[in-house]
Amino acid sequence: MDKFDSHRRRLLVLGGAALGVALLPQQALASLSTSRPRVLTLSNLNTGESLKTEFFNGKKYDKDELARLNHFFRDYRANKIKSIDPHLFDQIFRLQSLLDTRKPVQLVSGYRSLATNNSLRSHSKGVAKHSYHTLGQAMDFHIEGIELSNVRKAALSMRAGGVGYYPKSNFVHIDTGPMRHW
């Protein structure tokens, strides 16, 4: 009887572990299985700055490169810097892989201070009061040479957070919040 209980217990533990892995979001699975460096090439449309960075070396995030990205994503209007969620960089890296491109990501908007966000809200209905931009968890962008609708489709396929589509303004929004789209 002990032998049967031991096999049953082992089977239950393995089954539980398999179920746990199956319930992980695709993004988490991708980050667990990817051991290669992650490189981004970006252009900031508002400041004219460009940046090429290897923010993940295949094993861990590079703190110095994350600091460079935080500065690049800063609220240029208020010249304020916030730590950006590194998973946002993972998302854009994964998005470029899905689209099979290394063309520069054209950043329209990264971090926004509350004051900047409120100022933009007073001029536009499209700016959320509790924006993920103010948390350092969102970006608006397009990718040079890639149809905006294809960027949107690829972002939706990742099922990794929020995806907004703004064809009239020529950008897609992604964030690391709950999965939703508009």
Distances (CA, A) of 1 to 8, 11, 15: 11, 15, 21
Can you give the pLDDT at residue 84?
98
CATH code (residue 62)? 3.30.1380
Residue 149 within a domain: yes
For residue 125, is it left (φ>0), alpha (ψ between -120 and 50) or beta?
Answer: alpha
> Residue 24: pLDDT above 80?
no
Residue 59 within a domain: yes
Query: How far apart are the C-alpha atoms of 72 and 27, rounded to whole Å?
Result: 24
Using one digit for the tens of pLDDT, what is the confidence trace for 76-98? 999 999 999 999 999 999 999 99
Can you give the pLDDT at residue 121?
82
Contact 45, 110 (CB under 8 A): no
Radius of gyration of the chain (CA): 19
Residue 13 within a domain: no
Can you give the pLDDT at residue 13?
54
Contact 47, 75 (CB under 8 A): no
Residue 10 within a domain: no
> Residue 27: pLDDT above 60?
no
Residues of the chain above pLDDT 90, percent: 74
Residue 1 within a domain: no
What's the domain range around 131?
A: 25-181
Residue 12 within a domain: no
Query: How far apart are the C-alpha atoms of 2 and 6, rounded to whole Å?
Result: 6
Residue 55 within a domain: yes
Can you give the pLDDT at residue 128?
82
Number of domains forming the structure of the chain: 1
Residue 66 within a domain: yes
Mean pLDDT (the chain) is: 88
